Amino acid sequence: MLITRDILNKALEDKVPLFHDGDYIDDDVMYDLFYALPIFKDLPNGKKALRTLISKSDRNILCAELKGRISKNPKETYDKIY
């Protein structure tokens, strides 16, 4: 199945893994996940800071199946994607 930006946004909203066997990634989704430059976002203290488009914790959830590990335990760490 082709992973589109709509599918990416739904996975982010539902906090579920994005990939399954046989999926392939649309170019804009690949860019958003792995190549997008940091952007300025507001912090809770009112300051601005550079942040990635998709947070590391969200990326861990989205890419859990690529790394062969899915867990309901939020304390579990994941392997890096190469």
CA 5 – CA 51 distance, rounded (Å): 20
- Domain extents for the chain? 2-62
pLDDT tens digits along 27-53: 888 888 888 888 888 888 888 888 888
Q: Is the CB of residue 12 less than 8 Å from the CB of residue 62?
A: yes
| Cβ neighbourhood burial of 76 (10 Å; 0-12, 13-18, 19+) | exposed
Higher pLDDT, 36 or 78: 36
pTM over 0.95: no
% the chain with pLDDT above 90? 5
